[in-house]
């Protein structure tokens, strides 16, 4: 177990690593204003908040997630901006992952400007946490994602996230600062959290869309969206299979709700030009099965001594909720997530809510 003075130092060099990465992302994003966009197309900005107190009084394990992201307009072949040409060149080079057939293709890139996830044990009143419960941990990251929709029937996604896990991810400051403002008790065991470690994760996902019922592009429709994916890195390594069922209006514009991974998310992709009305709304429900080979938040640090628990290999999520688009300008996803037990000794499933708000710019 970590000693209680493990955080009494000045910020480590890792804390200086993420801001330059964010500045580099901003520099790359500046040319995005010149991207050639399709008619009525625009960039989208999204803010996602996840918390178990949104749906149940259960402030434990995965306690909070925040994600701020930018989705580019559709990338056009005649666009000569650095971002567009680099994104399309990478996709062309990785042709087994991004089909090159002469079909309708919509290419976009997504930048996760800033993301953070916080994890705690069930009992946060203990200054020395229960060694058999999930360790305290924070993860702060940024990342890029290349997206291609082919014929409105297949979505390919290749993403990379870089950041850090540990005290310099500011988990203690965010959680206890929030609790102080709203009059909640502080979590007492953050001095025993995972140690600082640079974090890198790569992920590739492929989704398919199969229509189940439809009355035309403007009518009530239903579809099934299965997915296969692989994520690898020193934060998370797992393979997954997902199935999502949706019913409503305007299904062509996305492949499901936007959630923070892992989980049965439709990803950041969204194209309102595929929706033939000024609004859309649909209900959804889904399931994801994961085979987990590594989870730093349960296994502990990769190269240092840290708290850890006995992780389960098989973990699944169940989701249900609603997604709505209004005035072609604001999209909101409400999602309820139920996650199976992730480690030996965990008492019951975890549940949390996700709220994602996106707007065009």
For the stretch 147-184, pLDDT in tens is: 999 999 999 999 999 999 999 999 999 999 988 888 78
What would the DSSP string read from start to end of 257-273? Answer: ---PSSSS---S---GG
**Residue 10 pLDDT level (bands cut at 50, 70, 90):** very low
Number of H helices, E strands in the chain: 4, 13
Q: Are 256 and 225 in contact (CB under 8 A)?
A: yes
d(CA 185, CA 175): 10
What per-residue confidence (pLDDT) applies to 56? 81
pLDDT digits (tens, 9 = 90+) for 190-221: 999 999 999 999 999 999 999 987 655 567 89
**What architecture is the 13-30+48-360 domain classified under in CATH?**
Beta Barrel (2.40)
User: For residue 262, is the peptide bond before it cis, meaning its omega torsion is within 30 degrees of 0?
Assistant: yes
Greatest mean pLDDT among 34-48, 85-99, 193-207 lies in 193-207
Average pLDDT, the chain: 87
- Return the domain boundaries, the chain: 13-30+48-360
Per-residue pLDDT tens digits for 335-358: 999 999 999 999 999 999 999 999
SS3 80: coil
pLDDT-derived band of residue 12, with 50, 70 and 90 as boundaries?
A: very low
pTM of the model: 0.87
Contact 249, 293 (CB under 8 A): no
**Mean pLDDT within 101-123:** 92
18 — pLDDT class (breaks 50, 70, 90): low
pLDDT at residue 30 in the model: 45
3-state class of 97 per DSSP?
coil
Compute, in degrees rounded to 10, the torsion defined by CA atoms 244, 247, 251, 256.
Answer: -30
100-103 contacts, C-beta under 8 A, 24 or more apart:
101/150, 103/150, 103/151
Confidence of residue 318 (pLDDT cuts 50, 70, 90): very high
At residue 85, what are phi and psi to the nearest 5 degrees?
Answer: -65, -40
pLDDT at residue number 81: 73
The pLDDT of residue 100 is 78
pLDDT band of residue 11 (cuts 50, 70, 90) is very low
pLDDT in tens, 231-287: 999 999 999 999 999 999 999 999 999 999 998 888 899 999 999 889 999 999 999
Q: Would you place residue 77 in the very low, low, confident or very high pLDDT band (cuts 50, 70, 90)?
A: low
């Amino acid at each position: 177990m970590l000693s209680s003075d493990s955080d009494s130092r000045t910020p480590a060099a890792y804390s200086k690593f993420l801001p330059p990465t964010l500045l580099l992302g901003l520099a790359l994003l500046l040319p995005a204003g010149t991207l050639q966009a399709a008619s009525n197309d625009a960039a989208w900005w999204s803010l996602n908040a996840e918390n178990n107190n949104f749906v149940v009084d259960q402030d434990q394990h995965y306690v909070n997630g925040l994600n701020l992201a930018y989705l580019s307009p559709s990338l056009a072949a005649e666009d000569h901006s650095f971002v567009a040409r680099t994104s399309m060149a990478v996709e062309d080079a990785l042709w087994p992952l991004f089909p090159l057939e002469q079909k309708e293709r919509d290419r976009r890139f997504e930048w996760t400007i800033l993301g953070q996830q916080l994890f705690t044990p069930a009992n946060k009143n203990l200054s020395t946490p229960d060694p058999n419960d999930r360790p305290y941990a924070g993860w702060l990251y940024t990342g890029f994602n290349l997206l291609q929709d082919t014929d409105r029937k297949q979505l390919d996604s290749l993403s990379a996230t870089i950041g850090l896990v540990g005290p310099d991810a500011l988990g203690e400051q965010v959680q206890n600062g929030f609790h102080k403002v709203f009059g909640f008790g502080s979590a007492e065991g953050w001095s025993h959290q995972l140690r600082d470690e640079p974090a890198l994760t790569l992920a590739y996902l492929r989704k398919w869309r199969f229509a189940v019922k439809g009355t035309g592009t403007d009518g009530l429709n239903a579809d099934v969206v299965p997915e296969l994916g692989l994520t690898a890195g020193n934060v998370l390594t797992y393979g997954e299979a997902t199935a999502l069922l949706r019913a409503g209006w305007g299904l062509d514009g996305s492949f499901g709700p936007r959630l923070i991974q892992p989980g049965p998310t439709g990803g950041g992709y969204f194209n309102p030009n595929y929706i033939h009305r000024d609004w859309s709304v649909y209900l959804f429900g889904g399931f994801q099965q994961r085979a987990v080979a590594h989870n730093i938040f349960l296994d502990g640090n990769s190269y240092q001594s840290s708290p850890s628990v006995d992780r389960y290999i098989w973990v699944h999520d169940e989701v249900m909720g609603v997604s709505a688009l209004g005035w072609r300008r604001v999209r909101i996803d409400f999602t309820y997530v139920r996650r199976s037990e992730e480690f030996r000794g965990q008492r019951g499933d975890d549940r949390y809510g996700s709220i994602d708000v996106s707007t065009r710019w």
